[in-house]
Structure 1
Amino acid sequence: MKLLSLLPLLPLAAAAPTNTLAARGLSVPSAVPEKVRVVGVSLLGSGCPAGTADVQIDATKTLLEVTFSEYIIQTGPGTKAADWRKNCKLTLNLEFDEGFSFSTLATDMQGFAQLPKGSRGLCTNTFDFTGIQGQSYYSLALPGPREGPFTLSANPDVVSWSPCGGTTAIMNMNTQCNISPTREQALIAVDRISGKITVNVSLDWRKC
């Protein structure tokens, strides 16, 4: 079976991103912090073993990219329960200029799936901020039959903002993918071309 690929978050380059907010029909924040940087990352889960994920912020401070290189879900003969479902909980500590707050505006997933007729892949993501009630949630369904790349975009059902009054905020993201039924041979995994699963998260900024 070929390797499949799913992109939950992508690394951001210093150059302007190809997938800008304006190009996607989303409003560009009127003001963004001059400085935004990742000061702490914690990863836990079967989809993100140590050393297999990367997090970056692009030059516009409006795109967050997290890349996973060993996020593989597969079913069928020879697989076990641990292969049918994978997850990764990412805790991200961002530091930025005082007087700003941010939220997750939209999320893109790109990748590759190989699913026979009767199989169904499902990926879900939730976002929240430590100390703030409310979650941003989206789910991505991948029904079979299909074999090839895919691009799925989602806007959060619930928008929550990082707390005001500080220069740091902790964002939690929990991503999970599974395939059912488990008896059929199917795969959602690392792209054999890019070798990564990536999710792009657009950030919306506002002044407090």
Structure 2
Amino acid sequence: MPAVIEPRDVPQSVRFLGVSLLGSGCPAGTADVQIDATKTLLEVTFSEYIIQTGPGTRASDWRRNCKLTINMAFDQGFQVSTFATDMSGFAQIPAGSRGLCTNTFDFTGVRGQAVYTLPLPGPREGPFKLSSSPDIVSWSPCGGISAIMNMNTQCNISPTQAQALIAVDRISGKITVLVRLNWRRC
């Protein structure tokens, strides 16, 4: 169970100075970023993050990614880290094929990154969730009032002539990445 974060351990003000998205899984206008009222949960929702193989598909259809660069401003005296992540969606992969989803997180100016992967071997049909909690936490630099978090999500399917799909969740109509933020005083 995650540690309880006391209100005094969270900045009173957290703002997004800018969010940029780049990649084949998040064409302009197809992803949304939200932060909850507790300032500890960041939700990124994608509507065009679809990977597929089979007849009529091209090599560019077999892999999608989205790199998000999130520039956050917050009260002086705090650091932020990625506490846990959840990526969910739907996969339909036949026997003999395999999919893979990977999430990578880091902060600009800080060495190291957290990398999480979820193999999706066939046969498989149904929802999936890539959950992760880092063993080694990378914190944003101390002493500033902002941090730039880089998130790169990607999924791929091994080339196959059979139809395979990693796609939007049939229920919610979106692939979602939840990022739980952890705060501490410098």
Please give the TM-score of this superposition, normalised by the length of structure 1: 0.84
Instruction: Work out the CA distance in 2 between the residues paired with 1:128 and 1:150.
Output: 24
Contact kept in structure 2, 1:38 and 1:56, CA below 8 Å: no
- Work out whether 1:32 is the aligned partner of 2:16: no
CA RMSD of aligned residues (A): 1.2
Match of 1:97 among 71, 75, 81: 75
Mapping of residues 1-208 of structure 1, within 5 Å? 25-30=1-6, 31-208=9-186
The percentage of aligned residue pairs carrying the same residue is 78
Q: For residues 167 and 71 of structure 1, do their structure 2 counterparts lie closer, same or farther at Cα, with a shift above 3 Å needed?
A: same
* Structure 2: segments with no counterpart, 5+ residues: none
Cα deviation, 1:24-61, whole Å, max 9, x if unaligned, reads x1112341111112120111111110000111111111
Report deviation, 1:109: 1.5
Q: How many residue pairs end up in the alignment?
A: 184
Provide the secondary structure at the position in 1 that maps to 2:18.
strand
Structure having the larger proportion of residues in strand: 2
- Alignment correspondent of 1:18: none
Instruction: Work out the CA distance in 2 between the residues paired with 1:109 and 1:141.
Output: 13
Provide the secondary structure at the position in 2 that maps to 1:194.
coil
Instruction: Work out the CA distance in 1 between the residues paired with 2:96 and 2:137.
Output: 34
Instruction: Work out the CA distance in 2 between the residues paired with 1:207 and 1:67.
Output: 29
* Structure 1: segments with no counterpart, 5+ residues: 1-24
Contact kept in structure 2, 1:29 and 1:206, CA below 8 Å: no
Please give the TM-score of this superposition, normalised by the length of structure 2: 0.94
Contact kept in structure 1, 2:94 and 2:164, CA below 8 Å: yes
Q: Which runs of 4+ in 1 moved over 4 A?
A: none
